[in-house]
Structure 1
Amino acid sequence: MQSHSAPPADSKAASAVQKRQDANTLLQAAILQEQYHDTAGAARTYRRVLDLDPRNKVAWYNLGVIAQREGRTADAHEAYDKALKLDPAYAPALFNEALLLKSSDPDRATTLLERAIAATPGASTAHLQLGRILAKKGRDREAAAEFRRAVAADPSLYSVVPEPFRDDVSPPPTSSQAGALR
């Protein structure tokens, strides 16, 4: 009778490395599928990535993006939550989850945006969205500060700052204007 022993540890490690490499190859393929607007194919490929590497936060996040685009908010929440369980500071998932919750749970959206900003301080659109939520809550001084941060990080956002806050927020001068001020 022949007994089956466990494979050597180095063979298990090699298998794990191969799975990660295969998952990364599939991840790149899924991203290309999305670029070519094959979202159904991309979703299938992201799921294959997760079969190989269930801890792949990028695959979970991208499944959330696809679900969000398709209006499947429950699926999007679930995918973002799984990405955030793997990396609680993963700014893209924090931001997109906040956008999903902005109307239904503005307090939770605020917390998520604050976490996204902590992870990526120059996240201009996170500052902008946080400013919008704070403005709706009547927290004008805090909202103005967020709008200022958004515009400081990305001057092109000035045009989408709500009108009542535009006097508080001024885009930095362009290089030609800066020269004229000297």
Structure 2
Amino acid sequence: MQTALMQEQHHDSAGAARTYRRVLTLDPRNKVAWYNLGVLAQQQGKAADAREAYDKALEIDPKYASALFNEALLWKSRDSDRAVDLLERAIAATPRAATAHLQLGHIFAERDRDSDAEDEFRRAVAADPSLHSEVPESFQDAVSPTPTSN
């Protein structure tokens, strides 16, 4: 796996993918290898391949928050209900997952569920105050980071 990570750092995604596939021939239940194949496919714009790899990681570990989050991003524009389900599962696995709260807030805002959106944006900013700038302007005053946010 270390070899694949080095290959990714050197922008050799094809080599990294080959290494992850070799890992999977030895250990087909390696959720990290499946997840990383999904990341590589997502970076290459191969959404179907990415979803398939994330699904394999999630078959192994249904609470794998990173795979849940990344797959949710793939579904966000196509099937926001599916994205909401995946984000809620990611948050259940990692309650302070700031970016998952942020993405869920965006979906709720698009659906005019302002109260739910505000709650999610508040949770995101409480977990990571640097995300405040990514909150839509109409919600920013309501979710301003406090001095006690961390």
TM over 0.5: same fold?
A: yes
Q: Return the match for 2:133 from 134, 140, 159.
A: 159
* Residues in 2 aligned to 1:50 and 1:130: alpha-carbon distance in whole angstroms: 32
Larger RCO (alpha carbons 8 Å, 6+ apart): 2
Name the SS for the 2:145 alignment partner.
coil
Q: Return the match for 1:86 from 60, 67, 80.
A: 60
Report how many residues are paired. Answer: 149
* Identical-residue share of aligned pairs (%): 74
- Per the alignment, residue 146 of structure 2 pairs with 172
Confirm whether residue 107 of structure 1 aligns to residue 81 of structure 2: yes
* Residues in 2 aligned to 1:118 and 1:95: alpha-carbon distance in whole angstroms: 12
* Residues in 2 aligned to 1:171 and 1:38: alpha-carbon distance in whole angstroms: 39
Confirm whether residue 46 of structure 1 aligns to residue 20 of structure 2: yes
Shift of 1:29: 1.2
TM-score normalised by L of structure 1? 0.80
- Per the alignment, residue 95 of structure 2 pairs with 121
Structure 2 unmatched ranges of 5 or more: none
TM-score normalised by L of structure 2? 0.97
- Per the alignment, residue 69 of structure 2 pairs with 95
* Residues in 1 aligned to 2:6 and 2:91: alpha-carbon distance in whole angstroms: 28
- Per-residue CA deviations over 1:45-70 (Å, capped at 9, x if unaligned) read 00000000000000000000000000
* Residues in 1 aligned to 2:5 and 2:63: alpha-carbon distance in whole angstroms: 22
Shift of 1:172: 1.7
Q: 1:142 to 1:174 in 2, by over 3 A?
A: closer
